[in-house]
Amino acid sequence: MKSLLKPDSNYRDGYRQNKLLKIISICLLILYCIRCDKTDENRGDDPCAFRMSTAIVPCVIQAPLNGSIISSDHVTLKWISSNSRNFSFNLLFGTDPENLKLISHQKSDTYKLTALNKSTTYYWQYSAKDTCNRGCSSGISSFTIIPDTSLPYIVTYDVPAHFHTSAFIGGNVLYGGTSALTESGIYWGSSPEPEKTGVNVASGTGLGEFFLMIDGLQQSTLYYIKAYARNNNGIAYGTEVSFRSGMDPVVGSVSDIDGNIYKTVQIGDQNWMTENLRTTRFSDGAPIAIVKDNTEWCGTALNLTSAKRTWYNNDSATYNIKNGIIYNGFSVAVNKICPVGWRVPSDDDWKKMEIYLGMSVKQADAENTRGTNEGLQLKDLSGWSDGGNGFNTSYYSALPGGMRAPLGTFTGTGSQGQWWSSTKHVQYDYLWTRTLTANSKAVTRTLDGMQSGCSIRCLKN
């Protein structure tokens, strides 16, 4: 009688053969999936048919690395795409990352640049396509040509033209030189070459960008600024930038149906509230339901699409005047929550203000975090956690009022402010919003569901 615990030799041999056949089959399948297009053509298959090996091909920039500092005036660009298909490459290059020009259409994966300008940052990217029109595109990479390796290298940021009698200035220390940085900052004054006749404002000793605010400027006056960085070898300057200060801001006020009075300010040709809305009624007198319970907020006890309001943590004593009321998206959709003659700004209204503050049109149209320092221009001088205060040169006076999630939980007071727009997504029941955070200088554009709770700033019609 054969043992039930130990198979005989014939069984073992058969088991091994079946296992070996399975392994061979898997290997053949893998080889089949990664076969080259040339083999497919020889076999008469469609060379552009879907292949597991050729469907996804990442484009990777090899050299120079993004953000490189280079002292030579010639650079060889190198890139790879992780497949041996018959690729052709389009190379885009320039000094404006939003307006790169096609400079080469080629088969090789290198390109030599010569006679580059000193003290200039260049941007480039490439795309790859094969004969089947499959391929990829790299992200934008940059490198900077510096004039001297022993000294620091610093750039002066342009100043937007919308400032009043305060200005938001800054620079970026891209390279520290061959000795330790001892100081960086800005010289500014009302005459050219402000490093000779102007005022010095220090910012620190580290690499990277920095921002400063100068105030007490004369109205409608031309000023000059120049960033600088110093190490033990000497001092280096960025380019000189000029700007003209504006007039004192146009301020006013407006009241809602409850009698609350809000300060207003003109930003460009738009008139914005500088405080978050805190009305308990629509402009026609209809009440907006106050909802404290999480279950009611998410719609199981009250109608799912009804307008609702609350205060952060349901605490009106602490947050009503400071941060205003939090409203769900259905409150916005009613289209009568702002005072008569005012409205919840549309997504395009927000973009118009952001472009006035310095965003490009391309940045304004993008999603998620965009722009450069527009968030600092909007955030108030105090109230933000972890050193996240702004310079408020727009007088928008944004505060971190937090928000309420669709399920009713509260988050973000002190570190995040989020405001509704009136614009719905073209496909989904979501509204576009704007968010400022303590740890970012920029402005975030995202979609939020109608059951979320955000602040509202009204805009004059």
More confident site: 425 or 11: 425
pLDDT above 80 (res 48) = no
CA–CA separation, 294 and 368 (whole Å): 28
Mean pLDDT, range 206-218, rounded to an integer: 91
| Average pLDDT of the chain to the nearest whole number | 87
Distance CA 361, CA 378 (A): 18
**Domains of the chain, earliest start first:** 59-145 (2.60.40.10), 153-244 (2.60.40.10), 251-460 (no CATH)
pLDDT tens track for 421-457? 999 998 888 999 999 999 999 999 999 999 999 999 9
Q: In this model, does residue 327 exceed pLDDT 80? A: yes
Question: Among residues of the chain, what percentage have pLDDT more than 70?
Answer: 86
**pLDDT tens per residue, range 136-177:** 899 999 999 999 899 999 999 998 777 788 888 999 999 999
Identify the weakest region by mean pLDDT among 7-11, 125-129, 210-214. Answer: 7-11
- Residue 248's pLDDT band, with cuts at 50, 70 and 90, is confident
pLDDT of amino acid 337: 98
Q: Is the pTM of this model over 0.85?
A: no
Rounded to an integer, the average pLDDT of 1-6 is 33
pLDDT at 322 over 70: yes
Mean per-residue pLDDT, 402-418: 96
- What does the H/E/C string look like for the chain? CCCCCCCCHHHHHHHHHHHHHHHHHHHHHHHHHCCCHHHHHHCCCCCCCCCCCCCCCCEEEEECCCCEEECCCCEEEEEEECCCCCCEEEEEEECCCCCCEEEEEECCCEEEECCCCCCEEEEEEEEEECCCCCEEECCCEEEEECCCCCCCEEEECCCCCCCCCEEEEEEEEEECCCCCEEEEEEEEECCCCHHHHCEEEEEECCCEEEEEEEECCCCCCEEEEEEEEEECCEEEEEEEEEEECCCCCCEEEEECCCCCEEEEEEECCEEEECCCCCCCECCCCCECEECCCHHHHCCCCCCCCCCEEECHHHCHHHHHHHHCCEEEHHHHHCCCCCCCCEECCCHHHHHHHHHHHCCCHHHHHCCEEECCCHHHHHECCCCCCCCCCCCCCCCCCECCEEEECCCCCEEEECCEEEEEEEEECCCCCEEEEEEEECCCCCEEEEEEECCCEEECCCEEC
Flag whether pLDDT at 29 surpasses 90. no
Q: What is the pLDDT of residues 81-124, one digit of tens each?
A: 766 678 899 999 999 998 999 999 999 999 999 999 999 999 99
Q: Would you say residue 365 has pLDDT above 60?
A: yes
Residues 167, 157 contacting (CB under 8 angstroms): no
